[in-house]
Amino acid sequence: MPTPSTSDLYREYVMPTYGRFDLALERGEGSRVWDEAGKGYLDFGAGIAVCSLGHSHPKLTKAISEQAAKLVHTSNLYLTRPQGELAKLIVDLVGLGGKAFFCNSGAEANEGLYKLARKFGSPTGRFEIITFTNSFHGRTLGGISATGQEKVKTGFAPLVEGFVHVPFNDLAAVRAAITPKTVAILLEPVQGEGGINPATPAFLRGVRELCDQNDLLLLMDEVQCGFGRTGDWCAWRTITPSGVEPDAVSWAKGIANGFPLGALWAGSRSSGAGADGNDRGPLCDLLGPGTHGTTYGGNPLAATAGLSVLRAIGEEGLLENARILGNHLLESLEAMQLPAIRSLRGVGLMIGIELNDLGLKSGAREGLPSIVATKALMAAGLLVIPSGERTIRLLPPLNITRAEADEALGILKGVLTAA
């Protein structure tokens, strides 16, 4: 019997939940990965906005190797230093007081947001959360209910009740959707899976005002856009440098470079009175003992990974690099004036390229412009991430060099010109 290939193993034994590309990757270094045949690729997907430091970053490798040799897991029945230090670092980076909670993924971090909002609204019977068209909040039942895209919900009814969707960047629609049952508004400052759609500054300011006027929580999902990708620690500050602050935030993806870790932060605003009329203290203490938890969340290995990634982003000046090289990529793509490109959107190293049909068949998934372009770029040695039918995303490591950015631009120009 010949040894089965990696494709054979997947076909036979792995559930077909993903529309995967037939590319088996074996190793990575910096902004490059290599497949099993030894072919190299410039990785401008970074595991879908995850590998902020690129692959095999020496600081991360050293930190997790040393921690793995010392203590991997203890449960949350006990204290471990890395979790305490990571919580402090996140609270310091947000800069608004409050406290953090740790879990394992973005969907799970968002579950924490929904539960926080429901607990906040429980004395007044409020539970509805307003979210947005084209948003994405994860694949749990809560996550698909919160997500403003029909395709993730099909076949999974009944969904979790209490989510209302309105068009993104449409303040009048948000205002009209607020009812006596509304407790929170949840948004991605830059929608990622929806195709890189940044919130406008006026929209963010307006949503904050509506929250203040109606005693609603402003929840931000920074799972994809957070911790440096937009050129700031907090994506909302890239959009509105001052004045707009959230009440609670979720993160995952880029927080630990691929080591599974999610986080939730809640601020110190009052939780208001409970059903008994007593003050419930600050929001960050509302989820008290026994209300929420997870076995692995923030274990010493995961927290060490998060600490080492966030510290390296600061030490290596990667916020500035994301701003400078993000602008360079966007301006260079604009200057190319390629007929294949319908529009360009981006903040920092989150860039969406919306494609025209040009020379690309439509209809079957294989024929969608986003998939055809992703495959053609892959064949030319550049990995990008498709988004919907006609957008491809550039989400490279935050430490890409100018030479790597120019190499990617050259490949994009060649492939999209041919299209």
247 binds ligand PLP, rule: CB under 6 A: no
Distance CA 246, CA 266 (A): 9
Question: Shortest gap between Cβ of 233 and ligand PLP (angstroms)?
Answer: 16
Distance CA 385, CA 375 (A): 10
Question: Shortest gap between Cβ of 221 and ligand PLP (angstroms)?
Answer: 5
The number of residues that bind ligand PLP (CB under 6 A) is 14
Closest CA to 350 of 194, 187, 189, 225: 225
Phi, psi values for residue 197, rounded to 5°? -120, 105
Question: Shortest gap between Cβ of 260 and ligand PLP (angstroms)?
Answer: 8
- The piece of 168-176, 203-211, 216-224, 289-297 that touches ligand PLP (CB under 6 A) is 216-224
- The piece of 101-109, 300-308, 315-323, 397-405 that touches ligand PLP (CB under 6 A) is 101-109
With CB under 6 A as the contact rule, the residue among 128, 193, 232, 247 that binds ligand PLP is 193
Residue for token digits 């053609």?
376
**DSSP of 339-397:** TTEEEEEEETTEEEEEE--TT---SSGGGSHHHHHHHHHHHTTEE-EEETTTEEEE---
192 binds ligand PLP, rule: CB under 6 A: yes
Question: Shortest gap between Cβ of 138 and ligand PLP (angstroms)?
Answer: 4
With CB under 6 A as the contact rule, the residue among 33, 87, 91, 107 that binds ligand PLP is 107
How many other C-beta atoms are found inside a 10 Å radius of the C-beta of residue 358?
14
Residue for token digits 């919160």?
146
347 binds ligand PLP, rule: CB under 6 A: no
Phi, psi values for residue 213, rounded to 5°? -65, -30
Helix (H) and strand (E) counts for the chain?
A: 13, 17
Question: Shortest gap between Cβ of 46 and ligand PLP (angstroms)?
Answer: 13
With CB under 6 A as the contact rule, the residue among 45, 54, 138, 148 that binds ligand PLP is 138
Distance CA 322, CA 264 (A): 24
Question: Shortest gap between Cβ of 110 and ligand PLP (angstroms)?
Answer: 6
| Interface contacts to ligand PLP, rule CB under 6 A | 105-107, 110, 136-138, 188, 192-193, 221, 223-224, 252
